[in-house]
Structure 1
Amino acid sequence: MMTLTQLLNKSAARLKGLHPAVLAAATALIERSYAVGVPILITQGLRTIDEQDALYALGRTRPGAIVTNARGGYSYHNYGLAADFALLLPDGSSVSWDMNRDENQNGIRDWLEVVQHAKAIGFEWGGDWNSFKDYPHLQMSFGLSLADLRTGKKPTAAAVEAVVERIKPKEEQAMRTQMKVAVQVNGRKIADGWLENGVTYVPARKIAEALGAQIAYHPAANTVDITTIPQKGAIS
């Protein structure tokens, strides 16, 4: 299994040029996703105005499919305030944009699990946009519009500090990866979990399977159901 350091190194080049607070937030997101068994790769960070214009030209004035509705200066990427991600596959080199994937088998789709961590840190998610949904996209506006940024405005110290405060539990997340515990059912190990503040966390699917129960995830209700299967001869 890839170590956290190796994983961070894979994204290092694409993290260069990001606003320091966004860089710290993206690093924290990689760490927190890794801690729950969902390794991710940052696929895009800072994008120059010229690079943005080149992307905007695809499907318009250049051959190819349309991949963005933003011209140069009209994307938070152009100001180092955005990052795109993908799920890193077990081979350590390929990535996936499959939003239904559940590699850690905890009944929660990996993509949405990453998004939950991203929002907790303070990222805005492109999947929440009403028009052009951009599911890999995460950004921090710091209360600034693109028009503000085009005039040269910068995030305020207070806005940056608010993000830093959200990232502070980073040390606790590092402890989580170190404090792994073996979870057993009837003396048989079924999974690795982690211990945090006296609470043991373990993938729900592993528990359900060990107990001979059925598990189902209902995305509309954001609910995981574990249903026990009656044993033969049992009185219900």
Structure 2
Amino acid sequence: MLTLTQVLNKSAARLSGLHPAVLAAATALIERSYACGVPILITQGLRTIAEQDALYAQGRTKAGAVVTNARGGYSYHNYGLAVDFALLLPNGSSVSWDMNRDGDHDGTADWLEVVQQAKAIGFEWGGDWTSFKDYPHFQMSFGLRLADLRTGKKPAAAAVEAVYERMNQKEVQAVKGQMNVAVKVNGKKITEGCLANGVTHVPVRSVAEALGARVVYNFATQTVEITTADQKGGSV
């Protein structure tokens, strides 16, 4: 299992150039998603005007499918106010954009868990847009339109402070309600979980497989089924 430090390091290069408040929010999103059992990778942060124009040309004057309706200067990425993400798979080198994936087998799609965390931090989600939906996209506009940003306007100090306050309130609540714990089987650490309000939450697959059981998620009944060795003929 990847550690939080490893997961953070994988996104570090793509966080460069972001507005400081967006950088803090993106880092918090990685941390909170990880605590939910969903490691993520930030796949895009700051995008230059030239990079945006090249992306806009894809599917128009260049080969490939159309991936954006925004020309250079018409995306919050161009001002360090947006990030894109993908689900980081267990091998630590592959990612997924499968919005139905439930890698932590908790009955909730991993993608939705990340979106919930992002909105709690204060991000706007591209999946809520009515025209061109952008499901991997999160942004913070700070009340500014793209037309404002193109004229050189910067986020107001009060708007930036509101983002930090929102994150700090969430962190205080998290510290009061939960703490990270190591999960060991026969003295060997197998995974990490969290203790929240007196209840310990751990990835069921890691624990079950360490005990020689098999875990299957039944999509039809939305049930996590654990089969012990004595019930499956002693074979895993």
TM-score when scaled to structure 2? 0.79
Deviations 1:46-105 (Å, cap 9, x if unpaired)? 000010001111111222221110000000000000000000001000000000000111
Q: After superposition, give the CA deviation of every residue in 1:109-142 in whole Å (9 maximum; x if it has no partner).
A: 0000000000000000000000101000000001
State the Cα distance separating 1:217 from its structure 2 match: 8.7
- In the alignment, what sits opposite 1:148? 148
1:78 and 2:78 matched: yes
Counterpart of 2:234? none
- Paired amino acid for 2:158: A
What residue in structure 2 maps to residue 44 of structure 1? Answer: 44
SS at match of 1:14: helix
Distance in 2, Cα, partners of 1:95 & 1:172: 31
Q: 1:128 to 1:144 in 2, by over 3 A?
A: same
Partner of 1:67: 67
**Structure 2 CA distance for partners of 1:170 and 1:146, relative to 1, 3 Å:** same
Tell me the alpha carbon deviations over residues 137-188 of structure 1, each in whole angstroms, 9 at most, x when there is no partner. 0000011110111111111111111110121144665794623568xxxxxx
The separation in 2 between residues aligned to 1:142 and 1:124, in whole angstroms, is: 10
2-side partners of 1:117 and 1:160: how far apart?
19
Offset of residue 13 of structure 1: 0.3
Partner of residue 229, structure 1: none
Could you tell me which amino acid in structure 2 is paired with residue 95 of structure 1? V
Question: Mapping of 1:170-181 within 5 angstroms?
Answer: 170=171, 173=174, 176=178, 178-180=180-182
The one-letter amino acid paired with 1:108 is T
Distance 2:166 2:124 in 1: 14
**Contact in 2 for aligned 1:181/1:192 (Cα 8 Å):** yes
How many equivalent pairs are there?
Answer: 211
In the alignment, the residues of structure 2 paired with residue 6 and residue 173 of structure 1 have an alpha-carbon distance, to the nearest angstrom, of: 22
- Contact map agreement 2:30 2:40 (CA 8 A) in 1: yes
Q: Kindly indicate whether the alpha-carbon contact (under 8 Å) linking 2:181 and 2:192 is maintained by their aligned counterparts in 1.
A: no
Q: Residues 28 and 170 of structure 1 are in contact (CA less than 8 Å); yes or no, is this contact kept in structure 2?
A: no
Measure, in 2, the Cα distance between the counterparts of 1:205 and 1:3: 17
| RMSD (Å), alpha carbons | 3.0
Q: After superposing the two structures, state which structure 1 stretch, 48-57 or 59-68, moved more.
A: 59-68
**SS of corresponding position for 2:86:** strand
Q: What's 2:210 paired with?
A: none
Q: How much has 1:198 moved relative to structure 2?
A: 3.2
CA distance in 2, matches of 1:17, 1:181: 37
TM-score after normalising by structure 1 = 0.79
Counterpart of 2:187 in structure 1 is: none
The 5-angstrom pairing of residues 203-218 of structure 1 reads none
Q: Assess if the C-alpha contact under 8 Å between 1:108 and 1:217 holds in 2.
A: no
User: 3-state SS of the aligned residue for 2:83?
Assistant: strand
State the distance in 2 between where 1:205 and 1:217 align.
19
What corresponds to 1:129 in structure 2? 129
Q: CA deviation at 1:22?
A: 0.3
Unaligned runs of at least 5 residues, structure 1: 183-190, 219-223, 227-236
Q: How does 1:194-209 map to 2 (within 5 A)?
A: 194-201=194-201
- How far 1:202 sits from its partner (Å)? 5.4
* Cα shift at 1:194: 2.3
Question: Contact conserved, 1:76 with 1:82, CA < 8 A, in 2?
Answer: yes
Q: Secondary structure at the match of 2:7?
A: helix
SS of corresponding position for 1:60: coil
Match of 1:18 in 2: 18
Any gaps of 5 or more consecutive residues in structure 2? 185-190, 207-212, 225-236
Q: How many percent identity over aligned positions?
A: 74
Compute the displacement of 1:18 (Å).
0.3
Which residue number in structure 2 is paired with residue 163 of structure 1?
Answer: 163
In structure 2, distance between residues paired with 1:44 and 1:5: 19
